Structure 1
Amino acid sequence: MTPLPACCTPLDAHWPLPTPLPGTVFLSTRFDPTLLAAGDFQRSAVPSPPSIQRSVAKRQAEFLAGRLCARAALHRLDGLDCIPAIGEDRAPVWPTHISGSITHSTGHAAAIVGHKAQWRGLGMDLENLLSLERAERLAGEILTVDELQRMGTVDREQIALLVTLTFSVKESLFKALYPIVGKRFYFEHAEVLEWSDSGSVRLRLLTDLSSEWSHGTELAAQFALEDGQLLSLVAIGAG
């Protein structure tokens, strides 16, 4: 395999979430944009789209790190040597028989892949934990009326976690479902029904996306909090 650039740590296969997903490959890396060097994309054999070439070092480094995770994960899963391009909808373009997701936040990138025969949709999102002040300010944009009511029943020190989790898990839901339904939806179109400190989450759709994915459909998710970052995952099985 192509050597990693100095801006990325060795790829880590440690599974960070409560429940492992059989048949998937997860890889993550830490990256430092200040260590990104001219020519790293070429040396890593990662194509750099024009939008990335015009970007600041942070965006270039997170894109490079995410694609390196994705390429290595695809190689481990299926022996493939490919890097997902950016589609017209800005989403990664995976091989037709593969479900996958790439995510990154400050200094941390990850990818997960699996076969569509086993996992129809995989959506993963990494977020920095919001401060309490920012969480309270953003709650009205991220949470539905019912979610806001439920937020009023939790201890104030849990509000930052709740709002970050709600944001992240809805991002993961979109990433998992959008490739299946081909239809955009937004924060107000799903709600978090319940979550636990152990990392389990239950979601419900509040809109009709297709005959199968209709208003009221419930889905499971999971999350983990580590070093001030929250990772969430929505996995839709084929069975």
Structure 2
Amino acid sequence: MSAALIAALRALLPERLALAASDPRAEATGLWPEEATAMARAVPNRRREFAAGRRAARSALATLGHAPAAIPMAPDRAPLWPEGVTGTISHGAGICLALLGRSEDWAGLGLDLEPALPLPEDTVATICTPAERETVTQDPSGLLSRRLFCAKEATYKAQYAQSRRLLSFHDLEVTFDASGGFSAELLTDCPPFPPATCFAGHSLQTGDILAALVTLPRL
């Protein structure tokens, strides 16, 4: 697992958040009965990823001072967090991360991990708005399309805790600043978020992994 990635993310995190990691390549151990039910028909790789996410989440719960608890999967496939807790789970490139906080402090959290590779060209139009596609064509690194995808995924997760609405990729338009920060502007109505809401986040790369982080403080 990437110690550099974990350290870089922790340097960005506000206070009152807990980040924990697990290996998604390890055996699918430690599932509680309520969790194992959801994976009864899953292929082995999916079971390992799911179990790693739950192990990381329980480690983060312990950091928050919360007792161990089951984290079942809701019908919409989102984690069902223990009362008083909100969080996000992501896995990719040989690492699984869980980021948790208390729901009295945080309205939503979003974390996404992606390989540091360009998106396939035939998916760029699906992921990127016309304005974003224009910036992608000017990007010498070839990674901007994947960074946009990663930022949108993290934003979707963060807002979903409040809206329970699945957005399309063109419902958000992302712009980056020189320091790795980004703003994801909502281009549609998504109660409780009105159009033109801007979600602030951070994007980073360590080695062959891209990460994006969005935290929504409770107002």
TM-score, normalisation: structure 2? 0.89
Report what 1:179 is aligned to.
Answer: 161
Report what 2:199 is aligned to.
Answer: 219
Amino acid at match of 1:24: L
Q: Is the alpha carbon distance of 1:13 and 1:28 closer, same or farther for their aligned partners in structure 2, counting shifts above 3 Å? A: farther
Q: How big is the shift at 1:14?
A: 4.1
Amino acid at match of 1:31: P
Contact 1:135 1:163 (8 Å CA) reproduced: no
Q: Distance in 2 between matches of 1:171 and 1:151?
A: 18
**Cα deviation 1:101-150 (Å, max 9, x = unaligned):** 0111132101000012211100111111224xx44332111101111122
Report what 2:24 is aligned to.
Answer: 31
> How many corresponding residue pairs?
216
Q: 1:46 aligned to 23, 32, 35, which one? A: 32
Structure whose CA Rg is larger: 1
What is the percentage of aligned positions where both structures have the same residue?
Answer: 28
Q: How big is the shift at 1:57?
A: 2.0
Q: How big is the shift at 1:56?
A: 2.2
Report what 1:234 is aligned to.
Answer: 214
Report what 2:49 is aligned to.
Answer: 62
Q: Is the alpha carbon distance of 1:164 and 1:189 closer, same or farther for their aligned partners in structure 2, counting shifts above 3 Å? A: same
Contact 2:5 2:206 (8 Å CA) reproduced: no
Report what 1:192 is aligned to.
Answer: 174
**Cα deviation 1:8-52 (Å, max 9, x = unaligned):** x7x99944325222100001123325xx2xxx53xx253343452
Q: 1:19 aligned to 12, 22, 25, which one? A: 12
Unmatched 5+ stretches in structure 2: none
Contact 2:171 2:186 (8 Å CA) reproduced: yes
Contact 2:154 2:214 (8 Å CA) reproduced: yes
Unmatched 5+ stretches in structure 1: 1-8
Q: Distance in 2 between matches of 1:107 and 1:22?
A: 27
Which is further off, 217-226 or 85-94? Answer: 217-226
Q: 2:188 aligned to 207, 210, 214, which one? A: 207
Which is further off, 83-92 or 55-64? Answer: 55-64
Amino acid at match of 1:228: D
TM-score, normalisation: structure 1? 0.82
User: RMSD between aligned alpha carbons?
Assistant: 2.2
Amino acid at match of 2:128: L
Matched residue SS, 1:85: coil
Q: Is the alpha carbon distance of 1:12 and 1:93 closer, same or farther for their aligned partners in structure 2, counting shifts above 3 Å? A: farther
Q: Distance in 2 between matches of 1:154 and 1:106?
A: 23
Report what 1:99 is aligned to.
Answer: 86
Amino acid at match of 1:203: A
Q: Distance in 2 between matches of 1:141 and 1:195?
A: 23
Matched residue SS, 1:140: helix
Q: Is the alpha carbon distance of 1:14 and 1:127 closer, same or farther for their aligned partners in structure 2, counting shifts above 3 Å? A: closer
Q: 1:87 aligned to 59, 74, 92, which one? A: 74
Report what 1:3 is aligned to.
Answer: none
Matched residue SS, 1:209: coil
